[in-house]
Amino acid sequence: MKRYALITGFCLLLAFLVFGGALWHGFSMIDDPYLISQNLFVRGLSVENLRYVFTHFDPELYMPLTFVSYQLDYVIGALNPTIFHATNILLHGINGALLIALLWLLFRNRTAAILGGLIFLVHPLNTEAVVWAAGRKDLLSTGLFLGALIAYVIHISDWGAGVPTRGRSWYWLSIGLFLLALMSKAMVMTFPAILILLLPVIGKRKVTLRSIISLGPYILLSIIFGAIALIGKERIVQSSTLTQTILMAGKSTVFYLQKIFWPTGLTPLYPYHNPIVISSPDFYIPLIVLGIIAVAAIVSLKWTKWIAVGLAFFLITLSPTFLNFHKGTVAFFAVDRYAYLPMIGIVILIAGCMEQMSSGKRLAVSDKHVAIFVGIFIVILASLSLIQTTTWSSDETLLTRSLLLYPDSIPARLSLSVIYRQEGRVNDERSVLESGLTYRDDVAYRTGLGSIFAREGKTDEARKEYELGQKLDPSNPEPLFFLGSLEEQLNHPDKALELYKQAIALDDSYVAAYINAGAILLDRGDLTQAETMFRTALHWNPSTMEANYNLFDVLERQKKPEEGFPFLVRAYQLNPDDPDIGLSYAYRLIDQKETKEADAILNHLLFIDPGNRAAQRLKSRAK
């Protein structure tokens, strides 16, 4: 135990040395705002926050325990991104130590266990899961998965040694950890299949009816959380055919294997824009490669069982991701963090080969030589991870690299155009969108260019771009929404409202369309319909500042100040720099005799804008 404590400490130290550069990174614009920085329900461990995360999706995944970990980070350091990144690195270091423990239990070979765990710990393919705050779900679920697997291995070992009471304790601990893993991310639902896979090789046990029955609780939990996961992923699953899913699964599987052994050219976005058909070499070649690998794994059974076991582990744990290769209208064939848990299978394969080489008769290699060879490999991996971590230093750096690798990436171009727009770099914004058109004409490029024209007052050019986008994909609500915004700009609210409603008809989760439609109804004085629009927007995204503030306004006009006040508080929490929201909040606090808090809000507004006369007048009233 003392030796293992030292190994754990070394894993933590190494994790921070390799990925510690992320401690100085901010939040990424990719998912971090929705999950963390603009999510009110991770701001502390209140009863309301806990109730919400245990009863809602994210919106696609059910992962309440991951949100609880974010809440704990917020308790420690509010929205300081360093705290969130430090927790991720800490979890990754623990996962490396847990993997070493598992490998030791499987092989009883210290060299194979430590070197295998270190390969996982420093591998650059894991960078995304570690340095991206939103990657927490993969780190947490994998750690609990490993804990559950270790407990089960100890359980059956103790049972075989004649210690049934202790064995049952480890059994129930394993089930409890598996439940927590599922509550972190449902991708770990393949755990029962992994137990069936490992049973024959752990103590040379046979898969009997009794052993299958003992897996009943695991199987039941997998079915329950699998059903919950399908509810959240319903739209994504329905957007693909079975043939497309199989073809993309083959392509992604071979890609992950390639990146595990040759981890270069990594990026968070691997888009695929061509037709998904068997006649394309992008798909039939990977299927051929997988067939060759399968034959090689069967042949290798004459030498060692661990190549086949490791590959099976990899494929089983990767399989839940095969259904998830669409994000709206964009297809992608891989995501680095999806390989975080499956990589353990390849590490098992490598460790098994190391153990076989050090103990086998046909190919005997000393532990020293194995350690030197693998040690060099680990140093190379760690160096690549250091470099890969720097690519996450800013959104612009990350997205620019994505475009260098995949210049046809629509998500990368759109995200980069948002950065340029926020920084007022209109020429760069226009350039990144127009250059995308050289690869393919897409709705997103047309609406992006249209919005530039609209901001410049070139409404005819803007309308032309939006209409081109609508012709490209009549089922896409984006052009309708932007046409509605253009009609508002031209002071045609009736036309705008109709277009927003058409966009909602195509996508009933279109939050921005609900908000804009509600604002028009609010201006008309149609408070009932406006309230419906804002409440629906909040149903899809409770942390939308505009919907919260507008709903407060509606309820105020309906003479329901007590009902509206919580929405004002949420709006202020989301954007304390907005003068209208701050003034409204301070005014209500003064009415409630909370003058000290109101004074702090007004001081903040005056710090931002010393000439804010409304804040000055209200401050004098607060005194």
> Regarding predicted confidence, which is higher, 361 or 134?
134
What confidence tier does 163 reach under pLDDT thresholds 50, 70, 90?
Answer: very low
Average pLDDT over residues 305-311: 93
On the question of pLDDT at 188 being above 50, the answer is yes
What confidence tier does 239 reach under pLDDT thresholds 50, 70, 90?
Answer: low
pLDDT at position 331, please?
Answer: 82
Give the separation between CA 456 and CA 506, rounded to whole angstroms: 29
Tell me the percentage of the chain whose pLDDT exceeds 90: 72
332 forms beta bridges with: 271
pLDDT digits (tens, 9 = 90+) for 442-463: 999 999 999 999 999 999 999 9
What confidence tier does 207 reach under pLDDT thresholds 50, 70, 90?
Answer: low
Residue 281: both structure tokens together: 């070499």
On the question of pLDDT at 161 being above 50, the answer is no
Q: Is the dihedral of CA 343, 345, 350, 354 positive or negative?
A: positive
Name the pTM for this structure. 0.91
What confidence tier does 155 reach under pLDDT thresholds 50, 70, 90?
Answer: confident
Average pLDDT over residues 382-405: 94
- DSSP at 35: I
pLDDT at position 286, please?
Answer: 94
Residue 493, Cα to own-chain centre: how many angstroms?
A: 38
What confidence tier does 622 reach under pLDDT thresholds 50, 70, 90?
Answer: low
* Contact status, residue 102 vs residue 149, Cβ threshold 8 Å: yes
Which domains, from first to last, does the chain contain?
2-393 (no CATH), 396-558 (1.25.40.10), 576-623 (no CATH)
pLDDT at position 345, please?
Answer: 97
> Regarding predicted confidence, which is higher, 400 or 331?
400
Average pLDDT over residues 519-525: 95
Report the range of poorest mean pLDDT among 334-348, 512-526, 580-594: 580-594
pLDDT at position 162, please?
Answer: 43
Average pLDDT, rounded, for the chain: 90
pLDDT at position 237, please?
Answer: 56
Give the separation between CA 603 and CA 14, rounded to whole angstroms: 45
> Regarding predicted confidence, which is higher, 483 or 359?
483
Average pLDDT over residues 426-438: 95
pLDDT at position 617, please?
Answer: 86
pLDDT at position 275, please?
Answer: 87
Average pLDDT over residues 70-86: 96
On the question of pLDDT at 30 being above 70, the answer is yes
On the question of pLDDT at 75 being above 90, the answer is yes
pLDDT at position 160, please?
Answer: 44
pLDDT at position 232, please?
Answer: 64
On the question of pLDDT at 89 being above 90, the answer is yes
